[in-house]
Amino acid sequence: MIANPAETDVFADYGAFLNALLPQAQGFMFHDRHGRLFWSNNPPDGSLLTDEYHATLAKLLQHGDLPGEQAKIPLKDCTAFLIRVLTDKGKLLGVVTALADREMAGMPYQFCADLLAPATRSLSRELSLRMHLLGATRKLKNHGGEHNFLSALAGKVHKSGRWEDAIHNVLVLCMEQFSLDGAMFLMPERNQRVVAGSRPADNAEVELWFESMQDLVAESGGNAADALAKRQPPNARARSRSWPILQEGHLVGIMALSRPGKAPIWSTHTVALIEFAVSTIEHVLERNFDPLTGLINWPGFETALDAACGDLEDQYTLMYLDVDQMHVVNDTFGRDTGDEILHRFADILNDKLDGHMITRVTSDSFAVLLKSVELDAAEELGKEVCKALKELDYSSGGQIFRPSVSIGVAQLVPTEDGFRNVLAPAQIACQAAKDRGRGRVEVYMASDDSIVRRMDDLNQVGSIRGAIEAGRLVLFAQPIVRLGGADDIANYELLVRMLNTADEPVEPAEFLGAAERYHLMQELDRWVVNKAIESLVAKPKAIDGRVLQFAVNLSGQSIGNEQFLDFLSGELDRTGVKTERLCFEITETVAVANLKKAQNFMNVLKEKGCHFSLDDFGTGLSSFAYLKMFPVDKLKIDGSFVQDVCKNDVSRSMVSAIAEIARVMGLETVAEYVEDESTLKAIREMGVNWAQGYHVGEPMRLSYVLGESTIVDEVDIAEVDTSMIAKLPV
């Protein structure tokens, strides 16, 4: 399956599509499933492709997916991101390589793969169709004229820009090959119709045929293809004959062909060739329409977007929509219910936004191009969509779910680069809608602080990974002091900090917020865990001779990921670290939200000897009820109660109650944010076991705790950055 020169222009379109999604790329390559270079767009000198690159390519082709960052290979002047391309049924087609410039070298692998997903899906459909045509040509033992017919089908489909033109070309070729009077393609539920010839079948008659096919499928209650295969064969001498059009096993349309009255009968061989033409139409639909929702696919939307960017006379607005918490639906009610919600949501979009271009971008996100619609009007349309979706509800086993959608609206601003990056403002506004409660509409405003922060987040994504690779992450350690008994343990909580390229500290809220929103917390957690274990193995005692014990925060993204648990277990076994010196802190909210996964995570590591602390305890609605469900050793009382313990009776009662319940259950307590002597005295009187806060010990570089640097070395950061060394989750 190697591209020939005549096909170069076809695949150049995919190169442009890939480049539009990743403008910083230096080039792209596609290797087929046999490892042969099938197509390339500005590839590097072959000598620059290292042995590591070729080995990784071979692994992806032979063994399947690799952990993300292992499919990211540094080359001399760029970084290669290798992404597998699969058919809808999971069959391997090959591997796309994106060659990113140095500025994008820090971009996480998964972020790049998600960014290029619309293009790789389109490329998958293109290659699937080519394989289908090749297979059919080999299967049919045809004569020269029939071979020309099959080849013409492939050529016409590939050279057609619009899906309607592609299907029209198929109909015309059928008319020429079989001497027909007319041909018609109809998708009644999508209100689409394509006609060729002077005497096609009557439109009303074709609709009746389609309805009878629908009835047959409904009566069978099974697969549409199986049901329709059993229908009564039509009269071989009939003037008109119809064929069902299927997509993902569902009946979506019909093709009707009409011939002169004295034409030969519909022979078996003729029908076989026509059925191949039908399957070609089905592939055209797969390339251009989302099978679940029936909405136009990204390439068609991209064409409209590009045209809008060049239209200086009209006004366009973009809408980006993300159905909230679809993972909850899939986990609780099953994927069938999730698919039904997405299908019904598409119906709502077609109803409320009729006449505008709508596409499904990813599994649960959609985009709309609104023509001649101002921002205010677009916002109102978005509110109507939100309201309509909220009227649906689903229940199972006593649980009720009412779906909602977060919507971002932004004015389309044409650029010299055409449609590149124009979706970003609407996406940012959509994320702001999620931040502000979900199920709402937000309009992109450059003056909105939250919007500005989101744009900064996008810029921060690459720098986080770059900081990990370039060694610009720093660990600080804040003491946790025992309030009674022997203090032979040097207990510290580890806090991760990041330096920018000028070695200046970055506010924790900035990079941690971006890492959380763009799913980079596992990267940070892995780095911290590795450094913690390395330190405990290399120097089991602090500089004052006491045994070291580290408290390490873990994010919800890591707790809910089995690969992270495997990684952590593997590191504990490999290094032989004394596991009792590690205490993992998990917030109460994260533990409850990931109940089963959190229980499994804790139980596995508890058996290895690790300790656990439930962080921010006291803020949840069911704190005490959930306590017995987790194998924790310590409760870390939320700082909001500790700070007010001398001023607020409710806070004092809360801290006292937590300390007493912990004592009864055999657990220890830690009070964070101890900022003065009166607070320290109060929590000691209440029976709290440990204290943490600026009054008992400020954060300092871990290197100082380990005796690898002097306190003087830390002045440059510690003095100018005291505001950023507040306790934040890693």
The DSSP result for 23-84, as a single string, is TTEEEEEEEETTS-EEEEESPPPGGGS-HHHHHHHHHHHHH----GGGGEEE-SSSEEEEEE
- Mean pLDDT calculated for residue range 47-55: 84
The position carrying tokens 């809220």 is 509
Q: What percent of the chain has pLDDT over 70?
A: 80
pLDDT tens per residue across span 206-234: 888 898 888 888 887 666 777 777 776 66
The position carrying tokens 């289908």 is 132
CA angle 106, 111, 114 (to 5 degrees): 150
The position carrying tokens 């004052």 is 544
pLDDT bin (cut points 50, 70, 90) of residue 130 is low
Q: How many residues does the chain have?
A: 730
Angle, helices 144-159/109-139, rounded to nearest 10 degrees: 160
pLDDT tens per residue across span 242-279: 899 987 778 889 999 988 877 667 777 788 888 888 88
Exposure letters 586-624 (e unless 16+ CB within 10 A, then b): bbbebbbebeebbeebbeebbeeebbbbbbbbbbbeebe
What integer pLDDT is reported at residue 345 of this predicted model? 93
For residue 389, count other CB atoms closer than 10 A to its CB. 22
Residue 512 has pLDDT above 60, yes or no: yes
Three-class SS of residue 227?
helix
CA angle 716, 719, 720 (to 5 degrees): 80
103, two tokens = 């500025």
pLDDT bin (cut points 50, 70, 90) of residue 569 is very high
Q: Between the CA of residue 626 and those of 266, 586, 638, what are the distances in Å?
A: 71, 14, 16
Q: Give DSSP secondary structure letters for 280-346.
A: HHHHHHHHHB-TTT-PBPHHHHHHHHHHHHT--SS-EEEEEEEETTHHHHHHHH-HHHHHHHHHHHH
Q: Between 414 and 651, whose confidence is greater?
A: 651
- Mean pLDDT calculated for residue range 691-714: 79
Residue 10 has pLDDT above 60, yes or no: no
pLDDT bin (cut points 50, 70, 90) of residue 157 is low
pLDDT bin (cut points 50, 70, 90) of residue 314 is confident
> Which range is least confidently modeled, 231-240, 586-595, 702-711?
231-240
Q: Are 548 and 541 in contact (CB under 8 A)?
A: yes
728, two tokens = 């934040």
Q: Between 19 and 338, whose confidence is greater?
A: 338
Identity of the amino acid at 219: E
Residue 558 has pLDDT above 90, yes or no: no
What integer pLDDT is reported at residue 416 of this predicted model? 54
What integer pLDDT is reported at residue 673 of this predicted model? 92
- Mean pLDDT calculated for residue range 481-505: 84
72, two tokens = 């990211």
Q: Between 54 and 502, whose confidence is greater?
A: 54
Q: Which H helix or E strand runs over 633?
A: none
Three-class SS of residue 347?
helix
Q: Are 418 and 310 in contact (CB under 8 A)?
A: yes
Angle, helices 268-288/298-309, rounded to nearest 10 degrees: 50
User: CA-CA distance, 413 to 427, in Å (whole number)?
Assistant: 14
User: CA-CA distance, 439 to 437, in Å (whole number)?
Assistant: 7
Q: Between 66 and 646, whose confidence is greater?
A: 646
Percentage helix, strand, coil, to 5, in the chain?
Answer: 50, 20, 30
Query: Taking the chain, what is the end-to-end CA distance rounded to the nearest angstrom?
Result: 48
Residue 142 has pLDDT above 60, yes or no: no
Q: Are 108 and 461 in contact (CB under 8 A)?
A: yes
Identity of the amino acid at 603: N
DSSP designation for 692: -
Q: Between 728 and 294, whose confidence is greater?
A: 294
360, two tokens = 């499904």
What integer pLDDT is reported at residue 518 of this predicted model? 65
> Which range is least confidently modeled, 16-25, 306-315, 440-449?
16-25
Residues 6 or more apart whose Cβ sits within 8 Å of residue 275: 243
What integer pLDDT is reported at residue 573 of this predicted model? 92
- Mean pLDDT calculated for residue range 67-94: 83
pLDDT tens per residue across span 577-609: 999 999 999 887 777 777 788 888 999 999 999
Residue 138 C-beta-side C-alpha neighbours within 13 Å: 6
Residues 6 or more apart whose Cβ sits within 8 Å of residue 438: 324, 325, 404, 406
Residues 6 or more apart whose Cβ sits within 8 Å of residue 36: 1, 2
Q: Most confidently modeled of 104-113, 186-195, 568-577?
A: 568-577
What integer pLDDT is reported at residue 723 of this predicted model? 32
pLDDT tens per residue across span 522-533: 888 999 999 999
User: CA-CA distance, 67 to 72, in Å (whole number)?
Assistant: 10
Q: Which H helix or E strand runs over 419?
A: none
What integer pLDDT is reported at residue 561 of this predicted model? 78
Q: Which residue, 158, 195, 153, 184, is CA-closest to 170? A: 153
> Which range is least confidently modeled, 64-78, 294-308, 712-726?
712-726
Three-class SS of residue 173?
helix
Q: What percent of the chain has pLDDT over 90?
A: 25
Q: What's the chain's average pLDDT? A: 80
User: CA-CA distance, 496 to 490, in Å (whole number)?
Assistant: 19
pLDDT tens per residue across span 413-470: 765 554 556 777 888 888 888 877 889 999 987 666 555 555 555 556 666 767 777 7
